[in-house]
Amino acid sequence: MKKLFYMLILVGILAAASAIFVPPYLSVSSNQDVVEVTVPKGASLNHVSNELYEKGVIKNKAWFKYKAKDAGVDRKIKPGTYTIPSNITLENIFALLEKGIPDEQMVLTIPEGFTLYQIAQRVSDLGFGTTEDFIDATQRYFEKEGYDFPTKDLFFSLEGYLYPETYYFTERQSVDDIVRTLAEPIKNIFTEEYKSRAKELDLSIHQVLTIASLIEREAVNDEERPMISGVIHNRLEKNMLLQIDASVIYYTGKGREHKSDIYKSELEKMVPFNTYRVPGLPPGPIASPSKASIDAALYPEEHDFLFYVLNETEDKHIFSKTLAEHEVHAQKYRNRNKK
């Protein structure tokens, strides 16, 4: 009887040992299927082993947990949805769980000359909330950073302060993260040299960005930027009305889009962005300017031109020094542009 008792104990020990100390080739599945295993945030090793066992990735939960603890993986499990071959080795399972699934990269491209509203739409299209969510986030950032320019006549306080570039985000990031990232480059662009140059021109950074945004919307090629900047600076120095269509177009679109046409009646309205009626610069930027346009705003080409008209055929502007010369060019190229 005593011998039978000891035999039963020995069998139990061997059974327990076999449940744990199994050969590695028996601890994982041998089939070739690929399965998806979801590991929630904060999941325990026990939860993971159950998932892997139920999906047929491992054959023995006890052995898996023993080896995972031995390798320290139980403290390093990353959440995510894993695509796992059923015949994967334990070592590769551990490596996956430790490394985690890389966040999917969301590509956000902001073209030069986009309005803040257009940027908000593009961010929303990527799945980061609504356009209103993004606009609200820009206002929070504006208040947090303590910008010191007046916003009374602006459609959006951070118009012109979100830099046009290609950015990479993950779905875990918030609209506040995105706004902060888009606003950072402008701060970096305005080095001490640029701030000093703005001071030489008796311009604030806000005014520099406003001029740069006008250049961005008016220029049709890079070579024109400094020339158009020169026209703007020349007209400001002579206290002439800027008469820039882009600023009126921005206002008629309520800051949301740049329409292609404007009516004569709109040029007669006494509104802040109507540079045909209101002297000086508009109250703020009308778009997101590029670095090239900011450079042009700070370093305009020195010349005597005061006017320009678009030659659509050659995709460039024709510059004039006098009104009479400009009217000749305007008649010539506007007729040609209609053909």
pLDDT in tens, 263-317: 777 788 888 999 999 999 999 999 999 999 999 999 999 999 999 999 887 889 9
Give the span between the Cα atoms of 17 and 22, in whole angstroms: 8
Q: Which CATH class is domain 2-99?
A: alpha beta
Q: Tell me what the mean pLDDT of segment 93-103 comes to.
A: 83
Residue 335 has a pLDDT of 61
Cα 208 to chain centroid, rounded: 23
- Residue 15: the pLDDT is 45
Is the confidence at residue 57, as pLDDT, over 90? no
pLDDT in tens, 2-54: 454 444 444 454 444 444 444 444 455 545 578 888 888 888 999 999 999 99
pLDDT at position 264 is 77
The ranges assigned to domains in the chain are: 2-99, 103-303
Q: What is the pLDDT of residue 159?
A: 98
Contacts of 11 (CB under 8 A, 6+ apart): none
The pLDDT value given to residue 37: 87
**Which residue from 247, 268, 65 is spatially nearest to 159, judged by alpha carbons?**
247
pLDDT higher than 70, residue 101:
yes
The band of 99, judged by pLDDT with boundaries at 50, 70 and 90, is confident
Q: What pLDDT sits at residue 170? A: 86
Least confident of 90-94, 159-163, 194-198, 319-323: 90-94
pLDDT of residue 139: 97
pTM for this predicted structure: 0.73
DSSP output for 9-52? HHHHHHHHHHHHS--GGGTB--S--EEEEEE-TT--HHHHHHHH
Q: Can you name the residues that pair with 28 across neighbouring β-strands?
A: 58
Mean pLDDT score of the chain: 87
Rounded Cα distance, 209 and 222, in Å: 17
Q: Which residue has the higher pLDDT, 322 or 101?
A: 322
The pLDDT > 90 percentage for the chain reads 60
Tens of pLDDT, residues 181-240: 999 999 999 999 999 999 999 999 999 999 999 999 999 999 999 999 999 999 999 999
**Mean pLDDT confidence for 162-171:** 93
pLDDT (mean) for 170-177: 90
Q: Is the pLDDT of residue 73 over 60?
A: yes
56: left (phi over 0), alpha (psi -120 to 50) or beta: left
Whether the per-residue pLDDT at 92 is higher than 50: the answer is yes
3-state helix, strand, coil in the chain (%, to 5): 50, 10, 40
pLDDT in tens, 242-262: 999 999 999 988 888 766 677
Check pLDDT > 70 for residue 1: no
What is the structure's pLDDT at 19?
A: 44
Highest mean pLDDT among 8-22, 57-71, 73-87: 57-71
- CA–CA dist 34, 83 (Å, integer): 7
202: burial class by Cβ within 10 Å (0-12, 13-18, 19+)? exposed
256 vs 155: CA distance, rounded Å: 9
Q: What span, in angstroms and rounded, lies between the C-alpha atoms of 164 and 122?
A: 12
Bin 241: left if φ > 0, else alpha if -120 < ψ < 50, else beta. beta
Determine the pLDDT at residue 4. Answer: 45
